[in-house]
Structure 1
Amino acid sequence: MSDLLSQDEIDALLRGMNQASPSSPAISDQDKDVLGEIGNISMGTAATTLSILLNQKVNITTPVVSILKWDELPKEFPVPYVAIKVVYKEGLDGVNLLILKKEDVEIIADLMMGGTGQIEFTDELTELQLSAIQEAMNQMVGSASTSLSSMLNLKIDINPPEAFVIDFAQNAEEMIPELKRADEIVKVAFRMTIGDLIDSQIMQLIPVDFAKQLVDAMLKNALGTSVQAETTVQTQHESGKEEVLRQPSSQTSKSQRTASQPSYTPTPKKEQPQQVYNVSPVQFESFDEEEERRYPENIELILDVPLEITVELGRTQKLVREILEFSTGSIIELEKLAGEPVDILVNGKVIAKGEVVVIDENFGVRITDIVNPSNRL
């Protein structure tokens, strides 16, 4: 009888893990270890992404997992924090919250905007700072989700993270109703260091039911991998035994083999008829730029697809501080000279050049040159 677990036995084992007795905790110590390992790997990937964004050495390590009640959150987080809400829409069904201190967010936002991080803290965060931290967290959570997808062997997709200031004593129930309904929340706290500027914590709040979903997915993937590896080893072992049985013992004498095995006379091989191949020179497509390009035969299938046409007058680059100094009457100098052709883009790709004209009371563009497809590449 095989010692391997069938898929039904694996499912039964997982169901037994989920059906805890009334006296057992909602999250066991083993579950905490699994959550800590998931967070450690995910945040390690996120730290690498944040390091690239900030051009600073970033470490996010040492997860500490604990269980909180909803009523304990105001005591655990007595001052306003910045929360980043992450909603999973594919692969997993749930939500979690990243919590950062307001001062840490101000430093990260300043680094995102090209500053040194040496700043004077303010009473309230600006919309620009919230946008900066939201973009940083968007990149971090995207990397963490990719890592999580590899760990769980699932296709995982999330909604764009949402950043906001939260006061757990006042507006928490309104901002995060998912955690309110969960009552019990798993807190995973990580130590976060950014250069010599930040030595703080970044915390993750996960509803208990979503935490169990993560643990079950991790254990199921681990059991499946173990069963697959064991099956492979057993198959190789059985194949090796069959090979040994088929091969004669090296210690068997020649006379014994001769007595036990019939004589064998090889049959002469029949000559195979020689195949005849038709060989002809290969015909390559002409790369002459002057040759007229033909449309594909099925071009009619996409003739009604709408495309966005944009006329670009020119471009330039400015620092964030220069953009903040813009006011009515400010002049932005572009890199193009007066009278130069403008670029005509279709869905963001340059396909032609032209000159600006006026048609009645509207602007228009007269095409003066079509960009060759090879030059576009």
Structure 2
Amino acid sequence: MENSNEMYLSEMEKDVIGEVMNISLGSSATSLSSLLNQRVDITVPEVNVVSAQKFDFEDLEPAIGVEIKYISGIEGDNVMILKKDDIKVILETLMGTEIADDEFELDEIAMSAVCEVMNQMMGSSATALADFIGKRVDISTPVTYEIVNKEDFKGRYYADNDIIVSVKFKLKVGDIINSEFINVISVPLAKEMVTLFLSGTGLGDNTDTTVETTESMPSKSDDTVKTENGEKKQKEINKKEQVMPHSVQYENEDTEEEEVNRPKSRRKKQHEYYEDDFDEEDEDYDYEPRRRKSDRRTRKSKTPVNVSPMEYESFEDEEEELSNEQLTNLGLIMSVPLQISVEIGRTKKKIKEILEFQQGSIVELNKQAGAQVDVIVNGQVIAKGDVVVVNDNFGVRVTEIVKKDDIVKITM
């Protein structure tokens, strides 16, 4: 059967499918990890090409199906099959409560939560897939349903003689899930993914063209190669000689050994000899910049400059006495009511993400659980504290407060 399946997908194509699905679902793992606040690993894809009649997922029963339709970029269905127990654990972690096995059922609330989780996971997967194949990919909203039996699932998508591609993954979520799930796609969809991947990476038709071009090129003899290398080196030497100054060329005529062993005083005198050897016009042209620099050095003032740090007057310790009129005004200000608000945290979201909010959506803030909250007046933080409950209402126990002088400035 394995040899006959190569008529549908070769070993190379199966490897490509495994890599594409592994990377796309790796992004799904990141989304699931953010939702559950748990480490999520999705690894070791196992790609199999089987007939729909022989396809079996007995190890996952009772199972939940998640149907995703690719509506642009690529076309086809991608169906995920997960264990019902794994879905239960995910919902328990998401909602922070335990559900008894006999009480768990996919009611409207559970379906909504599962769809939200799968929507974020498969949205990340589609984005990663688009980057991988170099083409935008859009998906429909995932549809979650309970699989009654294998025959019902197969009859929903395939005929008995249809050939399908199943990709099995290992799923590990912290210490709460160590399981597997299966992705099922059609052979045409798998072929399309392989083609887009190979064309996007330049490994498609370009490979054969490169080989043919290489084979058709005439080989050069060793003598020809040596001659060309010698000509290139000679051209490089000529270019260097044209660029280098006359004095440097002359000095380079000595051997390296003579240059190293030559005393410094001799080298200095030789350099002076070259300068005197030029005519007056050349000397002005070549060395005038040096003379100007020397002139600038001699014109620098040698008088020491005294630098002292700037001293600023301090106004913090000075207490101004308020007049009677100011005291009266201050008394009036003290009776003005101010709106106090308590902020537990903030975050930023794109407009697209905000429009996707719905009942059950979770917004993660930039503060850890148990951190102190900010007490805000007129948009300014005046204190920090802990959240408490007072007479069935929320309250704040102030644990840290800014200076009272700053509070007066805020209220003015």
Please classify the TM superposition score into its range, dividing by the shorter chain length: 0.5 to 0.7
Counterpart pick for 1:33 among 8, 15, 28: 15
Cα distance in 1 for residues equivalent to 2:240 and 2:33: 70
Answer 1 or 2: which has greater helix percent: 2
Cα drift, residue 173 of structure 1: 4.6
1:320-359 paired onto structure 2 within 5 Å: none
Output the amino acid matched with 1:129.
Answer: A
Alignment gaps of 5+ in structure 2: 211-227, 243-358, 363-412
Distance 1:75 1:45, change over 3 A: closer
SS state of the match for residue 180, structure 1? Answer: coil
Correspondence 1:73 to 2:55: yes
Counterpart pick for 1:147 among 128, 137, 141: 128
Provide Cα deviations, 1:32-55, integer angstroms capped at 9, x if missing partner: 110111111111111010000111
Pick which of 65-74 and 217-226 moved more.
217-226
Correspondence 1:58 to 2:40: yes
Matched-pair contact (CA < 8 Å) for 1:81–1:101: yes
Cα distance in 2 for residues equivalent to 1:52 and 1:210: 30
TM-score, reference length from structure 2? 0.48
Cα distance in 2 for residues equivalent to 1:253 and 1:133: 71
Matched-pair contact (CA < 8 Å) for 1:79–1:167: no
Counterpart pick for 2:89 among 104, 107, 114: 107
Output the amino acid matched with 2:127.
Answer: T
Output the amino acid matched with 2:142.
Answer: P
Pick which of 88-97 and 215-224 moved more.
215-224
Output the amino acid matched with 1:41.
Answer: I
SS state of the match for residue 135, structure 1? Answer: helix
Distance 1:61 1:223, change over 3 A: same
Other-structure match for 1:334: none
Provide Cα deviations, 1:44-78, integer angstroms capped at 9, x if missing partner: 11101000011111111111111222112356467
Other-structure match for 1:207: 186
Matched-pair contact (CA < 8 Å) for 2:33–2:39: yes
Counterpart pick for 1:121 among 101, 115, 132: 101
Greater C-alpha Rg: 2
Cα drift, residue 22 of structure 1: 7.8
Correspondence 1:220 to 2:199: yes
Matched-pair contact (CA < 8 Å) for 2:48–2:165: yes
Other-structure match for 1:88: 70
Distance 1:36 1:170, change over 3 A: closer
Cα distance in 1 for residues equivalent to 2:179 and 2:166: 16
Cα distance in 1 for residues equivalent to 2:80 and 2:235: 66
Matched-pair contact (CA < 8 Å) for 2:70–2:139: yes
Distance 1:250 1:96, change over 3 A: same
Cα distance in 1 for residues equivalent to 2:235 and 2:42: 60
Matched-pair contact (CA < 8 Å) for 1:78–1:169: no
Other-structure match for 2:237: 250
Other-structure match for 1:158: 139
Correspondence 1:169 to 2:156: no
**Aligned residue-pair number:** 224
Alignment gaps of 5+ in structure 1: 1-20, 232-240, 256-316, 321-377
Counterpart pick for 1:191 among 166, 170, 173: 170
Output the amino acid matched with 1:207.
Answer: S
TM-score, reference length from structure 1? 0.52
Other-structure match for 1:42: 24
Q: Determine what percentage of the aligned residue pairs are the same residue.
A: 33
Matched-pair contact (CA < 8 Å) for 2:115–2:144: yes
Output the amino acid matched with 2:237.
Answer: S
Matched-pair contact (CA < 8 Å) for 1:184–1:208: yes
Matched-pair contact (CA < 8 Å) for 2:51–2:160: no
Matched-pair contact (CA < 8 Å) for 1:182–1:207: no
Correspondence 1:180 to 2:159: yes
Output the amino acid matched with 1:204.
Answer: N
Matched-pair contact (CA < 8 Å) for 2:60–2:82: no
Provide Cα deviations, 1:168-202, integer angstroms capped at 9, x if missing partner: 4342255x32x338811111111101111100012
Matched-pair contact (CA < 8 Å) for 2:53–2:160: no
Other-structure match for 2:117: 136
Matched-pair contact (CA < 8 Å) for 1:59–1:192: yes
Distance 1:182 1:222, change over 3 A: farther
Matched-pair contact (CA < 8 Å) for 1:62–1:190: yes
Output the amino acid matched with 1:95.
Answer: D
Cα distance in 2 for residues equivalent to 1:85 and 1:140: 13
Provide Cα deviations, 1:267-297, integer angstroms capped at 9, x if missing partner: xxxxxxxxxxxxxxxxxxxxxxxxxxxxxxx
Other-structure match for 2:398: none
Cα drift, residue 139 of structure 1: 0.2
RMSD over aligned Cα atoms: 3.7
